[in-house]
Chains A and B, each alone.
Chain A
Amino acid sequence: MARSKKRGIPWIPLRKTVQGVALAAFFVLFVWSRRGGWPPSLVNVPMRLDPLAMLAHALSSRTLLVGSTLALLVLLLTLVRGRMWCGWLCPLGTLLDLFSLSRWRGRKGAPPDSWRKLKYGLLLTVLLAAVLTNLSLMIFDPLTILFRTLAVSVWPALDQLVTVTETTLYGVPMLRSMVSSFDGLVRPRVLPAQPAFYRYSALYGGLFLGIVALNLVASRFWCRYLCPLGAMLGLVSKVSLKRREVNDLCRECDACVGVCPTGTIDPERGYASDPGECTVCLNCQETCPHGAIGFSWQLTPAEWQTHDPSRRQALMAFGAVIAGVALARSGLSAFREHLGLIRPPGARENNLLSKCIRCGECIRACPTSAIQPSLAESGLEGVWTPVVVPRLGYCDYSCYACGQVCPVQAIPPLSLEEKRQQVIGQAYIDEQRCIAWADLKPCIVCEEMCPLPDKAIKLETVDAVTPDGETVTVQRPRVVRERCIGCGICEYKCPVNGEAAIRVFVPPTMF
């Protein structure tokens, strides 16, 4: 039966095609998740397909979003066919297949099976922490890792590369029109018209390379030992309806053992595998010279493995979570929120920390790269949450993309009119450094830039005496408190070098 199947459908090419299409779809949705691209509810579909992100969000936020139910599709698929998500669809998994580094992998053999426990431990910790309204560990979700790496590291780097190339080629007169045409094609649809800069882009890029480099130790190291989403789907796979089976045609040739990307085929146990580890890649089935491997309907749960989560592990995770969450809360996260941490419009009032799945969709969507990933400035608990850094980008008065694209409404989906009235901070002028105040020179850039119809920055025309005794007339900016929404364009455009002479802070009155 298995043999006829082998001749019938070219399973491996089919799987690779599906993997390629899914990866391409992820990329394309990423590229067009910038404001002005495709509809937000379409581009954030990958995140909403992620059952770990959606479950953790539901636990932590105590809300169930209609959009999140999309993740049930992946759960359903897993319930029927096991971890097919991992082997066929997951874009990170596909990249790890593409960059398997098998040529450089040592002959030493994989780490012991007990390492597989790690991912279950991580999963338990993620979910228990979510129950305690903490989502910090969502930074380990494979989709958030990949999306954020693309947004913060890969695309900005690509943009720089293209810009340098364009600049160089544009210097050659005969190439100018060609370079111009090319630029017209890629900007602003694929690359931004203005370069986007992100903090920690090297760090996030490096972390991603680290995950790829783990392939040097074992193929799909991430998926075997670390991935919490893989762990979640693995647990479901224990009761999946179709599971791998080895029949009595097996001649114990070991051919399947070598081709299994997760190393779950155990010659000691009759070449059986753990459905919690099997990604249904079908390498074994197609490799077997005897047609001894197939996938068949099964109704009894799979055998519990020694590396599967134990009660002890659960208790340990529980203890770790309580201690960890409490420690994180006693640290900077709660306190530092009050100092200078500007959040995307409406997010602060919306209890961002317990809703944000750290996916980076808002960072990608923000057309001015005002939204940046935080590292430690919002405390350990806030790692990878979005913060607005006005010196790097301002909140565009014509934009409301972040709230639209957020897959879990951690940034509320405000309308443009609502967003224009959403106060995210307040601008304060540093009179010691302001060109008009300190140097008695003309500037007014902050007033000019202020997008509010009646200007939240007003100019006072005054006569002042310079240190040389000369009387000059200057226009001094002042902020109108009740109008300022803290968009930060004044801070962004302030021509004073280094730190701006007008800066946005979160005023205490907002709490």
Chain B
Amino acid sequence: MGALFGGWLVAACGAEEAAPSATSQPPTATQTPPSATVGASATATEGETVAPAPTEGQPSPSAGEPQAPSPTEAQAPTTAATPSAGPPDLVVTRGGEPEELVRQALAALGGMGRFVQPGYNVIIKPNICVAYHTYEYAATTNPWVVAGLVKLCREAGAARVRVIDNPFGGTPEEAYQRSGIEEQVRAAGGQMEIMSLFKFVRADIPEGRDLRSWDFYDEVLNADLVIDVPIAKHHNLAKLTLAMKNLMGVISNRSAMHSNLGQRLADLSSRVRPGLIVVDAVRILTDNGPTGGNLDDVRKLDTVVATTDIVAADSYAATLFGKQPLELEYVRAGTEMGLGRSDLGNLRIEELSVGA
């Protein structure tokens, strides 16, 4: 039971109500990082209904607490002058190597230690939707973005970091390999896991408005932390496939999702509750998604977006395509459900330039 909500707890680890999980978490009082802002706590505690936060800058109860530094923070960039109010709602890093973009984004977000405690079982969910092309075609998440996260998790003391996806085109083993993700993840100390059928279990979606239950990959529900690492891509029905859409990969019977997709994606997100969302926009796919294959449709942005707010992640990523957040049905549905915030203007966003 405790493990079942591990992912939630992480998302909510700054909130006062969050009790340490009985089974899988060590006592965490000293390591509890500060709750960032209302926006971050809007990722909700178990059983709590959170309305979209109307204001910003509300003082956080634990904002003044010092934060346990993770080993990586020695490299925190000097430019990332963290505001005294705590970590920002959303960090955007631009203009460097993918792994460095990830490192600096996480550092600015408060360090991986904010999300990973020693002994944690972490699941990373990139988008490895097809086995067709190498990462340059921007159909699959950048391997170094994924591997960068694996390294940070390991450095923060995670016991086990597994990377999973359930490709719809080609076999998982081929997709893992061709995307380049397998090689980098292995080198970084993570594992690639094949999502076997028997691990999909029916789970309730208490907050779901359209879906009340669905078959989820069990390991995702049981993980201490789920990191959602989509690549920002074009998709004809959803318009864009980003963090919420990327969670389609952890359920079975995907094609049945396509009616009322926006609401259903929000429902799924309400159940999975990734504790950290890192949008890979090193390359984005602007057309013929989600499968890609044409380099003319690829734009290199050298950008990474990191946040705890899945709605904010997708909202910000939408702007990279020149879209308004609320053009995306799932962003609208997610905002209405209180899964996060799409009012980018009111969020505390930190933009960092990483490159030379």
Contact = CB atoms under 8 A, between A and B. Distances in A.
A210 interface: no
Given A368-B171, A397-B132, A398-B132, A455 B258 contact: no
A453 interface: yes
Interface string B277-306: 000000000001011111000000000000
A330 to B, nearest CB: 41
A398 B131 contact: yes
B194 A193 contact: yes
Contact of A367 (B170, B218, B237): B170
Contacts, number: 114
A495 B194 contact: no
Contact of B293 (A36, A183, A188, A453): A453
Contacts of B178: 398
Interface in B183-224: 193-199, 218-219
A448 B172 contact: no
Interface string B83-97: 000000000000000
Contact of A442 (B196, B259, B288): B259
Contacts of A451: 130, 132, 169, 291, 293
Classify chain A's interface size. 35 or more
Nearest to B130: A451
Interface of A: 35-36, 163, 166-167, 170, 179-180, 183-184, 187-188, 192-195, 367-368, 396-399, 435, 441-445, 447-455, 459, 475, 489, 493-495
A443 B178 CA distance: 28
B344 interface: no
Contacts of A435: 259
A466 to B, nearest CB: 14
Contacts of A192: 171
B163 to A, nearest CB: 13
Contacts of A396: 131, 169-171, 174
A494 B168 CA distance: 12
Contacts of B199: 170, 180
Interface of B: 130-132, 168-175, 178, 193-199, 218-219, 235-237, 255-256, 258-259, 261, 288, 290-294
28 contacts: A35-B171, A167-B197, A170-B199, A180-B219, A187-B194, A193-B196, A195-B197, A367-B174, A368-B171, A396-B131, A397-B131, A397-B169, A398-B170, A435-B259, A442-B259, A443-B259, A444-B236, A445-B255, A447-B236, A448-B236, A448-B291, A449-B291, A450-B291, A452-B293, A453-B288, A454-B293, A455-B291, A489-B169
Contacts of A453: 288, 292-294
B172 A193 contact: yes
B237 A475 contact: yes
A367 B174 CA distance: 10
B194 to A, nearest CB: 5
B194 A188 contact: yes
B168 A493 contact: yes
Contacts of B258: 442-445, 495
A184 B293 contact: no
A398 B174 contact: yes
Which 10 A/B pairs are nearest by Cβ-Cβ distance? A453-B293, A453-B294, A495-B255, A167-B198, A398-B131, A166-B198, A398-B170, A444-B237, A188-B173, A193-B194
A449 B236 contact: no
Contacts of A444: 236-237, 258
Contact of A448 (B193, B197, B290): B290
A35 B170 CA distance: 11
A364 to B, nearest CB: 14
Contacts of B132: 397-398, 451
Contacts of B294: 453-454
A215 to B, nearest CB: 37
A495 B255 CA distance: 6
Contacts of A163: 196-198
Contacts of A443: 237, 258-259
A183 to B, nearest CB: 5
Contacts of B288: 453-455
B170 A36 contact: no
A35 B131 CA distance: 13
A78 B296 CA distance: 61
A444 B193 CA distance: 29
Given A180-B199, A367-B171, A396-B131, 10 more contacts: A170-B198, A170-B218, A397-B132, A397-B170, A398-B130, A398-B132, A443-B259, A451-B291, A451-B293, A453-B288
Contacts of B256: 495
A188 B236 contact: no
A498 to B, nearest CB: 14
Contacts of B172: 188, 193
A183 B261 CA distance: 32
B139 to A, nearest CB: 10
A456 to B, nearest CB: 11
A36 B171 contact: yes
A61 B103 CA distance: 61
Tell me which of B173, B195, B235 has the highest count of chain A C-beta atoms within 10 A of its own C-beta.
B173
B238 to A, nearest CB: 9
Nearest to B199: A170
Given A193-B194, A397-B132, A449-B169, A36 B291 contact: no
Nearest to A455: B288
A208 B261 CA distance: 48
A495 B256 CA distance: 7
Contacts of A36: 171, 173-174
